[in-house]
């Protein structure tokens, strides 16, 4: 593809290096925002990240053969100064940046490298969202399970669907590891194009607040977008809840297509705020000021699609769904009230896509478990063990309240034992809050590590403990030891909650990711306990 075609519709200013315009007609080999991935005659986009700035690697990109450099900061290009280019274009320049000999690349100045990268990626991959129906799910909690439920509904409808999310990226039978909930725009558009090529008609994607702030999904046409909820998280990045909400709102006000539908949880206060903004037409979209098609869901408040008369047991969920005056019975192997909301969101998407209700019901029944999301671990023990990704105050509270409800609905006494920690280099303000929630709602709590990253695990635990008023806890910094202790303490009829990491298969300590899985660790601990019991008989 020609460089000019890749830049079509993108905002940029030619800084220098292509006075005759010839380079814009040159075929380029690819686009990269990591200088190590630059190929000869490729384009390097200098993007500023949280830890590294791509502008510092322009020299490296040029040495690797970059044909063009897209940048924001002019000061990076003038020290050392460039020699003047000869008349007639690019050829024969000696010296250049860092002593480069040969053709000098052209430099394009932009206001926002990420915005331009998203535009270029969309062009490079031939605007794939125009050829596939993209469904976006955003919110603090519930994105992953909701996405899997939507995908199952689409497959029950005999559609081939892709998935982009926290746990994995799925294209038909192919599976790729997920490094981010929502990948960078270059990878995101590449995945969409691969799904189009694989014959997918739909894709369900989780859309994180980081990706919306960093414009990773810009230039994507979303046909349905979902708002699950908004609770405290990522304030180390967004700083305020208002900023966090504003990032999420972009999905509805800027990226939803003209004929698209917004699906909103009105039991959530931020959901009601989003609904009000959209109804008032305050959001500005690509098509101008308008109010999109809106469908709401909920349990507590009046909604277009509502749930009532629910039954939550250790074997699954059943509840009545009401829509347009008609009632439908929803049955699911999933457990817990949080999953009622996830099911409602998925059902609402199905309705927005005009999928028959019997197909929607089938899709909901087909999802037995989602890895690390209220995931039951059964190794023959006499207590219920649940592994969950809950790593925010609201998610942890909902998890423990779900367990309390399950205890209430079963025969016999039982305790709730909760194991959790807080990640390092992240929002420190939530640590004492989560400590207070866990100890107030649980019978016993084990406080441990959860990706301490560059921080000292003991110091993180101290901050968690600072919010605790009860004495029903013990600190165990090593997560493996903590899980073994939790299993030892769990008895018949208890519910053991392993919270925080869910599907993750690593512990990040001092910049190194060590292999670790909560599910595997707790299963091993249970088997050891059962083996020891058997040996004593």
* Tens of pLDDT, residues 6-38: 999 998 877 665 555 667 888 999 999 999 999
Q: Decide: 294 and 275 in contact? Cβ < 8 Å.
A: yes
Residue 266 in this model has a pLDDT that exceeds 90: yes
Fold of 126-365: 3.40.1190
Please report the pLDDT score of residue 17 as a whole number: 59
For the segment 173-189, the average pLDDT, to the nearest whole number, is: 90
For the chain, give the percent of residues with pLDDT over 70: 90
For the chain, give the percent of residues with pLDDT over 90: 78
Higher-confidence position of 103 and 113: 113
Please report the pLDDT score of residue 422 as a whole number: 97
- Alpha-carbon gap, residue 131 to 107, rounded angstroms: 32
CATH of 375-536, one of 3.40.50.2300, 3.90.190.20, 3.60.15.10, 3.40.50.1370: 3.90.190.20
Residues whose CB falls within 8 Å of the CB of residue 457, separated by 6 or more in sequence, listed in order: 421, 424, 448, 449, 477
Higher-confidence position of 334 and 289: 334
- Alpha-carbon gap, residue 245 to 254, rounded angstroms: 14
Please report the pLDDT score of residue 483 as a whole number: 98
Cis previous bond, 80, omega within 30: yes
C-alpha to C-alpha distances, 77 to 86, 97, 482, 489, nearest whole angstrom: 18, 8, 52, 62
Please report the pLDDT score of residue 534 as a whole number: 85
Please report the pLDDT score of residue 403 as a whole number: 95
Higher-confidence position of 280 and 237: 280
- Alpha-carbon gap, residue 360 to 126, rounded angstroms: 32
pLDDT tier at 230, thresholds 50, 70, 90? very high
DSSP structure string for 400-415: HHHHHHHHHTSSS---
Q: Decide: 295 and 351 in contact? Cβ < 8 Å.
A: yes
Residue 55 in this model has a pLDDT that exceeds 80: yes
Please report the pLDDT score of residue 368 as a whole number: 94
Residues whose CB falls within 8 Å of the CB of residue 28, separated by 6 or more in sequence, listed in order: 1, 2, 3, 6, 41, 42, 43, 67, 68
Please report the pLDDT score of residue 432 as a whole number: 98
C-alpha to C-alpha distances, 236 to 208, 428, 429, nearest whole angstrom: 15, 8, 9
Q: Domain limits of the chain?
A: 3-120, 126-365, 375-536
Q: Decide: 421 and 434 in contact? Cβ < 8 Å.
A: no
Average pLDDT, rounded, for the chain: 90
- Alpha-carbon gap, residue 423 to 234, rounded angstroms: 11
Residues whose CB falls within 8 Å of the CB of residue 462, separated by 6 or more in sequence, listed in order: none
Please report the pLDDT score of residue 102 as a whole number: 43
Residue 74 in this model has a pLDDT that exceeds 90: no
pLDDT tier at 121, thresholds 50, 70, 90? very high
Residue 523 in this model has a pLDDT that exceeds 90: yes
Q: Which helix H or strand E contains 247, and what residues bound it?
A: helix 241-253
Q: What is the pLDDT of residues 56-68, one digit of tens each?
A: 999 999 999 999 9
Higher-confidence position of 457 and 409: 457
pLDDT tier at 281, thresholds 50, 70, 90? confident
For the segment 338-348, the average pLDDT, to the nearest whole number, is: 97
**494 CA to centre of own chain:** 32
Fold of 3-120: 3.40.1390
Give the range among 68-82, 108-122, 245-259 with minimum mean pLDDT: 68-82
Collapsing DSSP states into helix, strand and coil, what is residue 480? helix
Strands (E), 314-356: 316-323, 326-332
DSSP structure string for 417-440: EEEE---TTS-TTHHHHHHHHHHH
For the segment 201-214, the average pLDDT, to the nearest whole number, is: 95
Q: What is the pLDDT of residues 482-515, one digit of tens each?
A: 999 999 999 999 999 999 999 999 999 998 999 9
Residue 100 in this model has a pLDDT that exceeds 50: no
Collapsing DSSP states into helix, strand and coil, what is residue 441? helix
Residue 463 in this model has a pLDDT that exceeds 60: yes
**2 CA to centre of own chain:** 33
For the segment 68-91, the average pLDDT, to the nearest whole number, is: 54
């Amino acid at each position: 593809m020609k460089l000019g075609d890749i830049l079509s519709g993108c905002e940029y200013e030619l800084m220098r290096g292509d006075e005759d315009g010839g380079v814009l007609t040159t075929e380029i080999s690819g686009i990269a925002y990591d200088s190590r991935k630059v190929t000869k005659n490729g384009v390097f986009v200098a993007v500023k990240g949280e830890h590294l700035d791509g502008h510092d690697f322009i020299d490296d990109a040029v040495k690797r053969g970059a044909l063009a450099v897209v940048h924001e900061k002019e000061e990076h290009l003038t020290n050392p100064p460039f020699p003047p280019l000869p008349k007639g274009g690019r050829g024969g320049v000696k010296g250049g940046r860092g002593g480069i000999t040969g053709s000098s690349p052209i430099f394009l100045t932009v206001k926002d490298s990420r915005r331009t990268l998203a535009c270029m990626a969309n062009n490079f991959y031939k605007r794939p969202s125009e050829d596939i129906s993209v469904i976006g799910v955003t919110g603090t909690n519930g994105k992953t399970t909701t996405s899997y439920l939507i995908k199952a509904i689409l497959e029950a409808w005999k559609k081939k669907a892709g998935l982009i999310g926290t746990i994995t990226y799925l294209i038909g039978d192919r599976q790729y590891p997920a490094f981010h909930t929502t990948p960078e725009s270059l990878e995101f558009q590449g995945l969409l194009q691969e799904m189009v090529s694989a014959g997918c008609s739909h894709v369900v994607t989780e859309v994180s607040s980081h990706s919306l702030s960093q414009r990773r999904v810009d230039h994507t046409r979303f046909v349905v977008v979902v708002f699950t909820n908004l609770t405290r998280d990522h304030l180390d990045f967004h700083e305020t809840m208002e900023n966090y909400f504003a990032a999420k709102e972009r999905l509805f006000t800027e990226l939803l297509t003209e004929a698209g539908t917004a699906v909103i949880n009105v039991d959530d206060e931020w959901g009601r705020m989003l609904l009000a903004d959209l109804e008032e037409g305050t959001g500005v979209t690509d098509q101008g000021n308008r109010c999109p098609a809106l469908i709401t869901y909920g349990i507590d408040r009046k909604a277009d699609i509502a749930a009532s008369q629910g039954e939550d047991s250790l074997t699954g969920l059943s509840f009545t769904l009401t829509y347009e005056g008609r009632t439908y019975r929803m049955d699911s192997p999933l457990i817990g009230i949080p999953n009622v909301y996830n099911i409602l969101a998925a059902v609402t998407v199905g309705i927005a896509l005009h999928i028959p209700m019997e197909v929607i019901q089938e899709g909901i029944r087909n999802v037995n478990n989602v890895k690390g999301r209220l995931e039951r671990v059964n190794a023959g023990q006499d207590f219920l063990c649940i592994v969950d990704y809950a790593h925010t105050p609201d998610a942890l509270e909902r998890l423990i309240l779900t367990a309390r409800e399950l205890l209430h609905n079963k025969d016999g006494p039982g305790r709730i034992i909760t194991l959790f920690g807080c990640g390092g280099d992240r929002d420190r303000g939530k640590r004492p809050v989560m400590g207070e929630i866990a100890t107030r709602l649980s019978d016993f709590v084990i406080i441990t590590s959860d990706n301490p990253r560059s921080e000292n695990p003991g110091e993180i635990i101290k901050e968690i403990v600072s919010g605790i008023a009860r004495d029903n806890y013990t600190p165990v910094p090593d997560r493996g030891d903590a899980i073994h202790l939790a299993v030892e303490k769990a008895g018949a009829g208890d519910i053991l909650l392993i919270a925080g990491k869910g599907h993750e298969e690593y512990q990040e300590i001092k910049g190194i990711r060590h292999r670790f899985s909560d599910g595997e660790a707790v299963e091993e601990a249970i088997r050891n306990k059962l083996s020891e019991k058997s040996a004593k008989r």
